[in-house]
A and B are shown apart, each in its own frame.
Chain A
Amino acid sequence: MKLRIDKAKCVGNARCAAVSEELFPLDEDGYIAVEQIDVPAGKEGLARRGARACPERIIIIEDEGQ
């Protein structure tokens, strides 16, 4: 599973990291630090919840994976 993040539009809600800090790393200011996430096997549910938690709706599931 792959996630794409429209990083320039992140406004620092940090709700994704509230679901999983490991999956959604933040920078020192509390904004998302990455533009793409390769979701490790078994973490798909967490990734989906994190993406859905974003009030700005900028975390997009690119590839559902297997």
Chain B
Amino acid sequence: MTGAATLSPAVPKPAHVPDAAVYDFDMFADPAYVADPHKRVMDLVQNAPRVFWTPRNGGHWMLMSHAAIFNAARDIEAFSSEIVPQSQIKAMVARLPPGTPHIPQPLPINIDPPDHTKYRAPLNRVFSPKAINALKNDIRALANQLLDRVADKGRCEFMTEVAEPLPVQVFLKMLGLPLERQEEYRAIVKDHLSDPDPDPKNVMKKLLHITAIMRDTMLERRENPRDDIISLLWKTEIDGKPTTMDDMENYGVVLFIAGLDTVMNGIGHGVRHLAMDLPLQDQLRQNPQLVAEATEEILRRYTFTVPPRVVGKDMEFEGLQMKKGERAMLFLPAADLDPKEYANSESVDLKRENKVHIAFNAGPHRCLGSHLARVELQIVYEQVLARLPQFRLDPEHPPTFHCGHIIGVDSLHLTWNS
């Protein structure tokens, strides 16, 4: 949250990390980063080492260059997604007294192949381009409905009015969760993602909270299936075995967290850019067919997720010694601004030769919701340009942000002539 202005204490540097590879950056609370995130990312791209170790938040590696991240994301033995190793989770679960509720795990995010593949398979189809394209009309109608509510007012706080309700309502509907509880769900996700405490006990408590509020709907759909993802997951098999309540809770936490706090921030960054780039607004209003290209280029320019990894073995990587168990962040926002990969990386340029970004990460953990996210982003840009006249940032209320594994937009005040 924006209030998190205090830096976490710096921990001593391990002996194998050379001085030249140390750079002090708090990915949750660095003041310049929280004030204007991608400006600070650009500063890091220009001034920080391409791979560095920061003493903040317990001490961890930061992978910055496109090449380093591309290679790391595709090498699951070197960079594991099992932040808490499966063996440790099993040992913890075995020590719990009988009758303790199932501890949900965010699968398939926090598990490596081959098990990753088994848990991901049932989800791929529901999030495939074909399945998502079928939702386009509904998403557009919802976007128009939200925009029409504010069009006459000449101003709005865009996050609350559009960026947040749109993807949240689409997702709750897809999943089959009651729309009336939208605010309650959002509050839980916000709390979950803004708390940097990596203590497994604290994480488990938060995950149990999420499954508790989904349980009724899940049990109900097992008996009375409908046309939604929860019903569909009950009917699939995981590695040849019928889905269990434990599996459902695992899927529940991952879909819940990923579905309710990602796209809204992408929308926030993109609409903020449009509000600052009036020539681009004009160009896209005159040529709406360019919005698809613009969506990709804006994703590259404002990549906003930072997936965590754990070093899987003692190794040398990019000339540095890394030890098994150390944490490493795939700092995707920097990869997509790497000048070695993209000339004049800071400019949003629809004519750019190479717009192929890794905003959805590379490798087997490629964002499952990427097709949904792209459709939502594109439709919001199309409709905001169609329904609102030229809009700008409200100079009285500059946008505010929060940082962490997601670079989020907290508020985005826009004005226009109504």
Contacts and interface: CB of A to CB of B under 8 A. Distances in A.
A44 to B, nearest CB: 18
A30 B366 contact: no
A29 B128 contact: yes
A13 B125 contact: no
B371 A14 contact: yes
Contacts, number: 48
A13 B128 contact: no
A16 B40 CA distance: 33
Interface residues of B, number: 19
B341 to A, nearest CB: 12
B356 A28 contact: no
A12 B124 contact: yes
Contacts of B370: 13
Contact of B362 (A29, A31, A53, A55): A55
6 contacts: A11-B362, A11-B364, A12-B124, A13-B370, A28-B128, A54-B356
A55 B129 contact: no
Given A12-B124, A14-B129, A30-B129, A56 B371 contact: no
A5 interface: no
A31 B125 CA distance: 10
A13 to B, nearest CB: 6
Contact of A30 (B356, B363, B371): B371
Contact of B363 (A11, A17, A26): A11
A52 interface: yes
Contact of A29 (B125, B357, B358): B125
A31 B354 CA distance: 22
Contacts of B357: 55
B362 A30 contact: no
Contact of B356 (A9, A11, A14, A52): A52
A13 B130 contact: no
Interface of B: 74, 121, 124-125, 127-130, 354, 356-358, 360, 362-364, 366, 370-371
Q: From DSSP, what is the main secondary structure of chain A's interface residues?
A: loop
B124 A31 contact: yes
A56 B364 CA distance: 10
A30 B130 contact: yes
A2 interface: no
A17 B125 CA distance: 16
Contacts of A52: 354, 356
A52 to B, nearest CB: 7
A4 interface: no
B124 A29 contact: yes
A9 B357 CA distance: 17
B362 A56 contact: yes
B125 A12 contact: no
A11 B128 CA distance: 12
B314 to A, nearest CB: 26
Contacts of B371: 14, 30
B128 A30 contact: yes
B323 to A, nearest CB: 28
Nearest to B126: A29
Nearest to B128: A30
Lowest 5 CB-CB distances: which A-B pairs, in order? Answer: A30-B128, A29-B124, A11-B366, A14-B129, A30-B129
